[in-house]
Amino acid sequence: MSKHDRPHDPGAAASAAPAHGAGHGSGTHDHPSRSLFVTIWLVLGFLTAVEVAVPQVFNSPWNHTTKMLLLVFLASGKAILVAAYFMHLKWEAKWVRRIAMAPAYMGVAAVLLMIEEHFRPLFS
Amino acid sequence: MSSTHAIPASVPRDEHVGNATGGKVGMWLFIAQDGFSFGGLLLAYGLLRIFSTDWPGPGLRPTDILGINLTAVATFVLICSSITMVMAVDSAQRANRRGTVLWLLGTILGGLMFLSVQAYEYTHLVHEGIGFTTSTWHGQPINNLFGSTFYVVTGFHGCHVTAGVIYLLFVLRGALKGKYTQGGLTYSPVELVGLFWHFVDLVWILVFTFIYLL
């Protein structure tokens, strides 16, 4: 871009921003507000505090499964919040979302391997 | 006549990726393949742990060895650096140069704090006997795979944080020159480094749960 193509005054540059904001991501959403981002940040902080408390509350062998499920649920929730709001996936087009979701296959592989490990004694 | 029309406000709409720029699609593809790398490491860690009778050692839990409270603080610092990154992107979109620079500086500071905590943690664990290939805890041998998997997974993540900080420093240099606050799509590089930084944060959320808390 040549220098003369740039806006000459800050006002012009600033006025271009809202026009772009409306076209951000998939181009079909309003620009997310800062208060929304701060809310997500507070929720993430709260969930982190809950996560740290979970192993101390569920610290007996008999409630190990509860602890595991709770922690995986909390971590998944936090990851989804970061991806959806901070990474703007909520406002992206479907193929961008599909690309982003591809590594979730590793979660499926993990579940399949755990099932295989669980039923292995039956076939050995 | 205004010259703002020369700066594209958005790319032409695509049937599949909407108004995402080529750079954004490229960054998402990179993040996806990087996600597979982390997924593979976490999967290997999970399998090694499942097939171990004592993890990390007889009568021990990971929380007995790893400093959960310190790491929780580091986790919160990384989350804070994510919100500063979001604000940096938002400032760049609003053509606010000062805001972009300050929020980027905050993000870099968060990354450096996280790396400092990680360096302190590694030093402490090595002194306690948790090595990369062989591990002891209070003089008693424990499962060597615990230390190996811990250092590989958290070290790989630490490399990403380091790369992210270097990437942020390059973007900060451009932001100081006002390159990304001229309206239209000029903010795009700030958004791309933001995507990478949030990915690093997202991965740590999973690493913190699977390595430290479970």
pLDDT per position as a tens digit, B146-187: 999 999 999 999 999 999 999 999 999 999 999 998 888 888
Mean pLDDT of chain B: 90
Q: How far apart are CA B42 and CA A103, in angstroms?
A: 12
Q: Please give the pLDDT value at position A1.
A: 37
> pLDDT by residue (tens digit) across B68-89?
999 999 999 999 999 999 999 9
User: SS in 3 state form for B47-87?
Assistant: HHHHCCCCCCCCCCCHHHHCCHHHHHHHHHHHHHHHHHHHH
Domains assigned to chain B: 22-213 (1.20.120.80)
The Cα of B125 is separated from the nearest Cα of chain A by a number of Å equal to 20
**Do residue B20 and residue A92 have CB atoms under 8 angstroms apart?**
yes
Nearest by CB to A13, from B6, B182, B199: name it. Answer: B182
DSSP of A15-43, one letter per residue? HHHHHHHHTSTTS-SPPPPHHHHHHHHHH
- Chain B residues whose CB is inside 8 A of the A83 CB are 198, 202
Cβ contact B62:B125 at 8 Å: no
Are the C-beta atoms of A7 and A20 separated by less than 8 Å?
Answer: no
d(CA B82, CA A86): 7
Closest Cβ opposite residue A19 in set B9, B19, B96: B9
Q: What is the DSSP letter of B142?
A: -
Find the CB nearest B76 among A17, A45, A72: A45
Q: With 80 as the cut, is the pLDDT of residue B123 above it?
A: yes
| Residue of B91, B205, B210 for testing the chain A interface, max A β-carbons within 10 Å | B205
Chain A residue numbers touching B205 (CB-CB < 8 A): 75, 78-79, 82
pLDDT of residue A2: 39
**What count of other Cβ atoms lies within 10 Å of the Cβ of residue B146?**
25
For chain A, the distance separating the N- and C-terminal CA atoms, rounded to the nearest angstrom, is: 68
CA B163 remoteness from chain centre: 9
* Residue of B22, B37, B28 lying closest to A101 (CA atoms): B28
Q: Which of A99, A108, A114, A118 to mutate to test the interface with B (most CBs of B within 10 A)?
A: A99
Tell me which residues of chain B, numbers 90 to 129, contact chain A at a CB-CB cutoff of 8 Å: 90, 93-96
User: What is the mean pLDDT for each group of 10 consecutive residues in chain A (124 residues)?
Assistant: 37 39 44 88 95 87 84 94 93 90 86 78 72
On whether any CB of chain A is under 8 Å from the CB of B42, the answer is yes
Q: What is the pLDDT at residue B167?
A: 97
In our burial notation (b when 16+ CB lie closer than 10 A, e otherwise), range B74-97 reads bbbbbbbbbbbbbbbbbbbbbbbb
Interface test with A, best of B13, B14, B15, B19 (most A CBs within 10 A): B19
Whole-angstrom distance, CA of residue B33 vs CA of residue A18: 33
Contact by Cβ (8 Å): B44, B52? no
Report the gap between the CA of A13 and the closest CA in chain B (Å): 5
Element (H, E) at B141: strand B140-141
pLDDT of amino acid B185:
85
**Residue A33, pLDDT score:** 86
Name the percent of chain B lying above pLDDT 90. Answer: 68
3-state DSSP call for residue A93? coil
Query: Which residue on chain A is closest to B207 by alpha carbon?
Result: A75
Q: Is the pLDDT of residue B20 over 60?
A: yes
pLDDT attached to residue A30:
56
CA distances B62 to B37, B130, B150, Å, are 23, 12, 10
Rounded CA separation B161/B149 (Å): 18
For residues B16-33, average pLDDT? 88
Report whether A58 contacts A67 (CB < 8 A). yes
Cα distance between residue A97 and residue B111, in whole Å = 27
Nearest to B25 among A14, A34, A96 (CB): A96
Which pLDDT score is estimated for A60?
78
